[in-house]
Chains A and B, each alone.
Chain A
Amino acid sequence: MDRRVAITGMGVITRDAPDLDAFRQVLGQGGNPPGLPCQFDSTAFRSKLGYPTDPEKTARLLDAALRRHGEVLAAQPSDAEAACAANGLLAALDAVARAGLDAATLRGAGCAIGTTSGGMMDSFADLMETDSPDALAQVVAPASAVDILARVLGLSGPLCSFSCACISSLAALSYAFARIRSGDVDIMLAGGSDRMREADFAGFNALRAMDRDSCRPFDETRNGMMIGDGAAILVLEEEQAARARGATPLAWLSGMGLATDSHHITSPNPHGLTRAMQQALAQARRAPGDIDYVNCHGTATPLNDVAEAEALRAVFGSHRPRPMISSTKGSTGHLLGTAGAIETVATVLALQTGDAPVMTTTHTPLETGFPLPLSGADRRIGGRIAMKNSLGFGGLNASLILERCPETEAR
């Protein structure tokens, strides 16, 4: 049975955006310059800057959100749970409120979360050497965020957590999409939640994949990514269930593509992404010419952007006009496992506003053959269908198709 899947709510937290409204502004104006993380001392690393959230500020935001949305809570998070999943809880509470879900309806929902490493095993390992690990014993598992969200929000539907490098949160979205389409459940909270992790910061430095100054996707001078953290949660809902409770769909999620390029652990090959995009189009019953905007993975590493542009040319090559493409990582940083979810939110917002997110850090664009929404350029998206792509270590690729709803258009 083909059950149509609507997005009825979205919530976001990044360094520069404590909620969805602020995130919309970031996408329209560009983010602030990268800064030093306060979670650890980054001065020993070659590249020291990123887009880290401030855990103390996040904790204050979470306290306020828990008070504001008390009517949907099934339980209060413990201190350890709040420390582990503050970003995810904040984004979920925002998404649930914007979707207009009441507590009773929310209880039947499931949850799927993508995460880079998740949990607090790092903190546990540190504590092992100094103190009792008891305080963290219940939240050390790698996929803790989904369990914490389920307990705090009282979710009784399917729960699953994915850790597939940078496609993690699109994997979570694909799982949620399948659960609703199969009839297992009517509502899923899906997305990504991550905390800034020193080991990832060190690792991407070791790979020489991080720029020292700024992230410049699809720029001739690009020299790498900059790590950020945060969360993005989307409320996915079966169409009839959403309409029955009076919810207005923000967009449709109409197709998913999943493919592996089987080439190299850290060097992408365009064939995998090409197949993922073609699969997503086929499932959505759309042609390449129907796509008006592509939100790219766009890490600004020399290898990624070239491979991605080649895959895009393979899919859209014969179609004119070509869709506008962009990457939002110059504004938010690379949120790793959460990147796919936050960029899906950015794509839905682009469909709603009709403007692609501006790329303020890209000044000397790479010749991709696709229009880019650079500062001062026309950023209007002509139509109502968009694509979101993610690539991950190991040659993992995911692509999804989003369609603007007529109701949203009318508003």
Chain B
Amino acid sequence: MSDTIIISGSIADLPQTASPTVAGYPAATDGQTAFGFSGLQFLDHTDFDALPARQRGRLTRPYARLSQMISRLLAQTGLSPSDIAGQRTGLVSGSMFGCSQVYEIHARLRHLGPRGVDAIRFAQATHSYPISACAIDFQIQGPCFAVVNTQAASLQALLCAWDWLRDGRCDRVLVAAYEDFTAPVSTHLAHRARATPGLVFGESMVLVMLERDSLATRAKSAPVLLDVAAGQPTDSARACGTMAVDHLGAEGLLALHRSISIPEPAPDGAQIRLPACPAGIAVTLAFNAMELC
């Protein structure tokens, strides 16, 4: 397809605390307190935690946040829910650890036996639950994938979106990236952080909308996505993903979000990639006809 693909919107939720330790954050049960939570930064889950238990039980944290962020992104881009409903819109997520519910269901089984696993909780215990549930909410009927991978997860998700737009499956794709730290992921990461002084892991959720330029209704120029390609990292590619806090699988899309949120001139052909990624994803952008990273 020859239509230009633009990044028509981008939002991110990040931890607000400056401290690497979230004092008083409720430690999970199941023996997760052994390593504490030093070295982890959490998103503000106050709204979710304040929901009535019955309502909270029908949601998961990543699903609730993604649903809310899709609404915010629609507002940012001037689109309505009906614009993204239907088979021409896709939704893809990337996360290193995916949904904690997948592991929580195992913990419940261990502690409570078969009666600890109910149908509703189990139906939520897939890594694709946040995108599936949001697809139902917003009637998105194009492809929906969940990439669960290493540090490259969110850029692999971006690559899927690129594939779908380029081969004509979709006109719009929402690309989400997130990490959600509940047990046992939080314990595992706390253990890793403690073993390496200064290492801090952060929760986050990033949501980016890609769409065909011909469909876009925007007041100002949007960044153009020139290319997304998978392969070996190249020496000429400039690393943009190194941050003080490691956002794991969300890091790549977060770097993209930061790049387009704070535009600065950059050399032509500059690329975004993660240096630690074993299979590099090279992303090339242009903004106001000037390449930037």
Contact = CB atoms under 8 A, between A and B. Distances in A.
A199 B132 contact: no
Interface of B: prevailing SS: mixed
Interface stretch (B10-18, B73-81, B187-195, B206-214): B187-195
A262 B160 contact: no
What's the interface size class on A, roughly? 35 or more
B230 A158 contact: yes
Nearest to A266: B123
Interface string B149-170: 1101100100110011011010
Interface string A130-165: 000100010011110011001000001111111111
Contact of A272 (B97, B138, B141, B167): B141
Contacts of A181: 167
- Which of B90, B185, B279: most chain A Cβ within 10 A? B279
How many B residues touch the partner, as a band? 35 or more
Contact of B147 (A161, A198, A204, A265): A161
B248 to A, nearest CB: 9
Contact of A198 (B109, B135, B184, B188): B109
B87 A163 contact: no
A129 interface: yes
A117 B102 contact: yes
Interface stretch (A7-15, A29-37, A388-396): A388-396
Interface string B113-140: 1100111001111111101110110111
Interface stretch (B28-36, B260-268, B285-293): B28-36
B106 A258 contact: no
Contacts of B159: 160
B169 A121 contact: no
Interface of B: 30-32, 34, 87, 90-91, 96-98, 102-103, 105-107, 109-110, 113-114, 117-119, 122-129, 131-133, 135-136, 138-150, 152-153, 156, 159-160, 163-164, 166-167, 169, 183-185, 187-188, 191-192, 229-232, 278-279
27 contacts: A45-B114, A110-B230, A124-B188, A126-B110, A129-B30, A140-B188, A142-B148, A157-B231, A159-B279, A160-B159, A175-B163, A181-B167, A184-B231, A185-B230, A199-B102, A199-B105, A199-B106, A199-B125, A203-B117, A258-B143, A258-B145, A262-B136, A265-B133, A393-B132, A394-B132, A396-B128, A396-B132
